Amino acid sequence: MRRIYLLTLGLLVLCGCFGSRGVTEVSASELKPGVIVPQLRVGVKVRVSVSASGEPVLNEEVKEVSASGDIVLPYINSVKCAGMTIEQFQEELTKRYREFYVDPLVSAYYVPMSEGGSSPYGSVLVTGCVAQQGVVNIPQTCDLTVMQALQMAGGMGQWANVNGVRLTRNMADGTKQQVTIDTEGIGTRGATEQNIVLMPGDVLYVPESNW
């Protein structure tokens, strides 16, 4: 009997039935901020041009970072670039093209989101009781707040629990912090401290109300 009890206890622990491992519930003021660095990410598009000795090698081709985090370019083939800044990417291309040309001149810059590219500043995921679940890109101004993200997701549904929106943020050490946000209070009581500026990888979940 004791053996069965211990086995059951082990299964419960493995399944996380005694709470979420690595997730800490904090207040809005305790949530650790992050730093948004524009960088090449999956889905981000860049416009690349290369010339050498005054002659064009590559005429402003638009390339997109693949799901495997690379971009394929003539002569140098695949370039692993996810996580690089645009300056680091340009330096890497210059080094790679130098194997074929003398003093190549490389230009690389982000394709604007208005032209179909993903945001180099990252994105957040909005799920639950909203009109349109999915990814919301962080704009160049890096000031995407909770309320703005919900608005960009089409707003909360009729049965949404407006007092219990949950924001989950991944920490650098692999743990997570979670904040419960009263979105109604942001408007009715001016609780602007809860209208948190979002970071890349944040997840907003809008549960349904229990009544």
* pLDDT value of position 161: 95
Looking at the whole model, is its pTM more than 0.85? no
Give the C-alpha separation, 121 to 141, whole Å: 9
Taking phi over 0 as left and psi of -120 to 50 as alpha, with beta for the rest, 98 belongs to alpha
Q: Give residue-wise pLDDT tens across range 6-33.
A: 333 343 333 333 344 578 999 988 999 8
Residues of the chain with pLDDT under 70: 1-21, 211
Strand order, beta sheet including 134-137: 23-25, 176-181, 165-170, 203-206, 123-128, 134-137
Closest CA to 37 of 124, 121, 143, 145: 121
